[in-house]
Structure 1
């Protein structure tokens, strides 16, 4: 009954949730993948980089949302604050996965690429990246689910998202509103996960050819 009257509000909050999630995911990947490639190719420095970035993920979400405005001078109750905090978590999560993905590329394959006269950038794009995609996508799936869940924390500082259904539902003691919020977040996370699987199929057509044989 509650959803029948409030579905326009739920759709608005869903849109706001997506607009917070997608930029954070994209920025995290664009930053973390090159860092992971560097860490994989320079193990001495790379191990330190992975450890330092991983520490960021141990910071609780609410304190992170309070710390970010002091560092980058953005309003506390702003979407930018939430996106930056999500990026910190996302980068911390993906750097380790990206490093492992690029380290999984067989050294003999890279040696063969060098023997063929490929430059380091060509090896990165034509050898490392394609072979690392399956592991990278698995990390992306975790990142998407994690980000969709963490966005809800923004509601505690007044940034609208599906998390607003939790805070508002608890304050007004409307159980249906809380349940709708939970279901919506879960479904959105599943949708993002399916999108990642589709992306993997599009980026790795050779796996389907192998199965067809």
Structure 2
């Protein structure tokens, strides 16, 4: 009798959609029972992604400027940034570990290097898209090189640059999951655990949150572009 009561109490406590006998893909009980783990993993995923993108922009912008102003270095810069993307993450992250340790910094640096492939090329293409007559007019109006860059060229180059930023951001959201190799993959840690233990609810939840993060960041970038380039909505210069 006691065994029967104990079994019934365990059955009542265990979630109906994930337990020792049931392993469903969609389980709302998982979201409430593992809320803290999901929030922690999502937060880490966002922080790593945003840090990698910011670092990528900081490195990519001067590289694009050098490639634009020193044509003989353009092939080397574009070729070098593209070559970085060909290094498998399974090799890149372990190569960084001796210098940065098993930390989130390792993942951030690795993802920033991958983002250079897209960011450098899009920034260079954006700067090239500025008409030569616009530059000549700016020089005629007395703009120096720095003022011309920040007040004339960058605003006109923003649409192309932002398009590249959108691609780099979405790509980085996906690649962040690979950081699970060094125990700092955000939602990738949950995905890896879900695969190894065949925990379907955990695996699906982590994958869905990755998609949500990618969509939300993409929407935010599009909104920022609309704010920063209002003339593209009124038929002006694009």
* Correspondence 1:58 to 2:83: no
The question of whether the paired residues in 1 share the 8 Å contact of 2:178 and 2:185 is answered with: no
Asked whether the 8 Å contact 1:156–1:167 carries over to 2, the reply is no
- More helix as a share of residues: 1
Contact 1:39 1:46 in 2 (8 A): yes
Aligned to 2:198: 173
Counterpart of 1:46 in structure 2 is: 74
Aligned length: 208
- Runs of 4+ residues over 4 Å off in structure 1: none
CA contact (8 A) 2:100 2:106 kept: yes
- 2:87 is paired with a residue whose SS is coil
Of residues 109, 114, 120, the one that matches 2:139 is: 114
Instruction: Return the offset for 1:57.
Output: 0.8
Deviations 1:70-119 (A, max 9, x none): 4xx211x2111111101111123211111111111111111111112211
1:3 is displaced (CA, Å) by 2.1
Q: Is the 8 A contact 2:173 2:214 kept in 1?
A: yes
**TM-score normalised by structure 2 residue count:** 0.83
Question: What aligned pairs does 1:19-34 form with structure 2 within 5 A after superposition?
Answer: 19-34=47-62
RMSD: 1.4
Q: Contact (CA 8 Å) 2:176, 2:185: kept in 1 or not? A: no
- Unmatched tracts of structure 2, length 5 or more: 1-28
1:94 equivalenced with 2:94 (yes/no): no
- Tell me the equivalent position of 1:198: 223
Q: Is the 8 A contact 1:17 1:160 kept in 2?
A: yes
* Conservation of the 8 A alpha-carbon contact between 1:14 and 1:162: yes
Q: TM-score, normalised by structure 1?
A: 0.93
Structure 1: runs of 5+ lacking an equivalent: none
Alignment match, 2:164: 139
Shift of 1:160: 4.5
